[in-house]
């Protein structure tokens, strides 16, 4: 019995090493496919609810799910689209001027505090605006690749949600017959954990976006709706996203005044405190709670291996890794029972 557990542990370690090697070699392809699987999990979960309530077959339930999402998107755009478009255009026009003003203030402060020159080079504090815009231009040059990836993700998500059982059965057949029942349990546990995490993240994105937009509106900061939308979208990436979302808001506030920059920091800080100590615990209690250290480490590794996409998908990949370790190692090898992520 002990020798069997050792062999299983060694097999698990070797499998993880092989997966790690493949991830470094084909990171872009694997991350794109995983994003499609994540979308399929979300669409399949919603379709399952519709299927249970209406007794419709899965294709029709999925069609209703897609039409509902499309209707929500069209409705939101009809209500807030013109304002968002106008404020986004104003935000794009403000950012270059804001960067110039902020750079000028930094240089003026450096002139005022000349004793800091041996320690700080003002020219290195902020990159030239031309270089920043050049980097933005380089990003837009990859638009075609991004569009292709989006279509791949959409097709994987829609087809995966239309017939999830057939894909699951195909994966289970790759496992020896005596382990297929357990493999099916693992796959269902992974889908459940990812689905609950997605629900929790989407709810928190809406709350963060609304609170941030309202706070900026009260302060009189330009483009509050657009900045709130940016904050909500960036909050999809835990811990790192909120830090990045404050940068455009600070640039816009710098056009208004230095005091407004402090107020903006206060708004974002208050929203993050509410999210961290009130909203997140309540949502995670019903969704999925992941150790912060594990998420930050995964974001670091994902950023090195696949850039922004790796950071974006670091948290769901961490969920997959934790559930696999819980079920395949802690339960199957060590024989201990642990509460699984996403299990209520």
Sign for the pseudo-dihedral over CA of 303, 309, 310, 316: positive
Q: How confident is the model at residue 163 (pLDDT cuts 50, 70, 90)?
A: confident
For residues 226 and 84, is the Cβ–Cβ distance under 8 A?
yes
Q: What is the pLDDT of residue 311?
A: 75
Mean pLDDT value of segment 323-344 = 81
How far is it, in rounded angstroms, from Cα 223 to Cα 192?
A: 38
For residues 94 and 222, is the Cβ–Cβ distance under 8 A?
yes
Q: What is the pLDDT of residue 81?
A: 58
How far is it, in rounded angstroms, from Cα 53 to Cα 49?
A: 6
Cα–Cα separations (whole angstroms), residue 101 to 6, 252, 257 = 63, 10, 10
Non-local (6+) Cβ contacts of 89 within 8 A are none
Q: What is the pLDDT of residue 126?
A: 47
Q: What is the pLDDT of residue 131?
A: 47
pLDDT digits (tens, 9 = 90+) for 202-257: 888 888 888 988 988 888 887 787 788 888 888 887 777 777 788 778 777 777 77
How far is it, in rounded angstroms, from Cα 126 to Cα 108?
A: 13
What is the token pair recorded at 154?
């959409």
How far is it, in rounded angstroms, from Cα 155 to Cα 33?
A: 10
What is the token pair recorded at 220?
């009189």
For residues 86 and 244, is the Cβ–Cβ distance under 8 A?
no
Q: What is the pLDDT of residue 132?
A: 44
pLDDT digits (tens, 9 = 90+) for 263-298: 888 888 888 888 777 777 777 766 777 777 777 787
Verdict on whether the full-model pTM lies above 0.85: no
- What rounded mean pLDDT belongs to the chain? 75
Mean pLDDT value of segment 139-168 = 72
Residue 339 pLDDT more than 50? yes
Q: How confident is the model at residue 319 (pLDDT cuts 50, 70, 90)?
A: confident
Q: What is the pLDDT of residue 98?
A: 64
Cα–Cα separations (whole angstroms), residue 320 to 44, 199, 264 = 18, 16, 36
Buried b (16+ CB within 10 A) or exposed e, 235-259: bebbebbbeebbebbbbbbbbbeee
Sign for the pseudo-dihedral over CA of 314, 319, 320, 324: positive
Residue 85 pLDDT more than 70? no
How far is it, in rounded angstroms, from Cα 313 to Cα 27?
A: 12
pLDDT digits (tens, 9 = 90+) for 88-136: 666 666 666 666 666 666 566 555 555 555 555 544 444 554 444 444 4
How far is it, in rounded angstroms, from Cα 222 to Cα 51?
A: 44
Helix, strand, or coil (residue 142): coil
Non-local (6+) Cβ contacts of 272 within 8 A are 242
How far is it, in rounded angstroms, from Cα 37 to Cα 156?
A: 7
Instruction: Give me the residue spans of the domains in the chain.
Output: 2-331
For residues 278 and 129, is the Cβ–Cβ distance under 8 A?
no
Burial of 213 (0-12, 13-18, 19+ CB in 10 A): buried
More confident residue, 115 or 156: 156
Burial of 204 (0-12, 13-18, 19+ CB in 10 A): buried
More confident residue, 34 or 28: 34
More confident residue, 319 or 31: 319
Cα–Cα separations (whole angstroms), residue 95 to 81, 90, 225, 256 = 21, 9, 16, 12
How far is it, in rounded angstroms, from Cα 322 to Cα 293?
A: 13
Q: What is the pLDDT of residue 103?
A: 63
Q: What is the pLDDT of residue 302?
A: 74
């Amino acid at each position: 019995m002990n020798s069997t557990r050792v062999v299983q542990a060694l097999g698990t370690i070797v499998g993880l090493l092989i997966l790690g090697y493949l991830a470094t070699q084909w990171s872009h392809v694997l991350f794109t496919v995983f994003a499609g699987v994540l979308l399929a999990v979300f669409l399949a979960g919603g379709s399952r609810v519709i299927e249970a309530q209406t007794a419709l077959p899965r294709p029709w339930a999925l069609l209703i799910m897609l039409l509902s999402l499309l209707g929500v998107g069209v409705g939101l755009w009809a209500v807030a689209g013109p304002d968002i478009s106008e404020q986004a255009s104003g935000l794009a026009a403000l950012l270059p001027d804001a960067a110039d003003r902020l750079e000028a203030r930094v240089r003026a402060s450096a002139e005022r505090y000349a004793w800091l020159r041996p320690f700080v080079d003002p020219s290195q504090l902020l990159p030239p605006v031309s270089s920043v815009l050049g980097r933005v231009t380089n990003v837009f040059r990859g638009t075609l690749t991004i569009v292709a990836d989006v279509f791949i993700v959409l097709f994987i998500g829609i087809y995966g949600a239309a017939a999830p059982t057939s894909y699951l059965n195909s994966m289970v057949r790759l496992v020896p017959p005596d382990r297929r029942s357990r493999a099916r349990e693992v796959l269902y546990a992974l889908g459940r954990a990812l689905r609950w995490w997605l629900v929790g993240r989407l709810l928190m994105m809406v709350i963060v976006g609304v609170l941030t937009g309202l706070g900026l509106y009260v302060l009189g900061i330009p483009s509050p709706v657009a900045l709130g939308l940016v904050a909500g979208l960036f909050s999809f990436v835990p811990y790192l996203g909120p830090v990045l979302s404050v940068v455009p808001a600070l640039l816009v506030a710098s056009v208004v005044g230095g005091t407004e920059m402090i107020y903006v920091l206060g708004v974002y800080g208050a929203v993050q405190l509410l999210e961290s100590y009130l909203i997140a615990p309540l949502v995670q209690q019903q969704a999925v709670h992941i150790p912060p250290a594990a998420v930050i480490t995964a974001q670091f590794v994902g950023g090195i291996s696949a850039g922004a996409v790796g950071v974006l998908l670091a948290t769901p990949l961490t969920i997959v890794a934790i559930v696999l370790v819980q079920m395949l190692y802690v339960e199957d090898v060590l024989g201990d029972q642990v509460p699984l992520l996403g299990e209520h």
